[in-house]
Amino acid sequence: MPQIRPITDLRNTTEISELCHSLQEPIFITKNGYGDMVVMSNETYEKEMAAADIFRKLLIAQKQIDNGSGVDGEEILKKMRDKYNYDNI
C-alpha cells in the first residue's frame, strides 16, 4: 500500500530516509491535502528508471514489428554466428 505523508513530515529527514529504504517504494508527499512530490531511495529510483527504459524499448520494438521495419531475431543471431564464426550463440 502506498505511503502518503504530509509535507511537514519532511522535517524529520532521518525517519523519511529510513522509511524510503525499508519500504523500497516511493513515498507520496502532500501539501494542503494535494499531491505535491514523491520521495524515494536511490536504489528504488534506479530500479524504476531501469524498468521504464525496458518498457520504452519494448514499445519501440512493438512499433517496429507492427510496421514491418523490425529484424527477425533468428536472422540477427545467424549474422552474428557467421561474422564471429561461433556456433553456440
For residues 65 and 69, give the distance between their C-alpha atoms in angstroms, rounded to a whole number. 6
pLDDT tens sequence across 6-45: 999 999 999 999 999 999 999 999 999 999 999 999 999 9
Say what percent of the chain tops pLDDT 90: 71
For strand 27-31 and strand 34-39, is the pairing parallel, antiparallel, or unpaired? antiparallel
Would you state the pLDDT for residue 88? Answer: 67
Pull the grid cell for residue 88.
553456440
DSSP letters of 20-46? Answer: HHHHTS-EEEEETTEEEEEE--HHHHH
For residues 16 and 41, give the distance between their C-alpha atoms in angstroms, rounded to a whole number. 10
Greater confidence, 73 or 52?
A: 52
Averaged confidence pLDDT in the chain: 92
Would you state the pLDDT for residue 89? Answer: 55
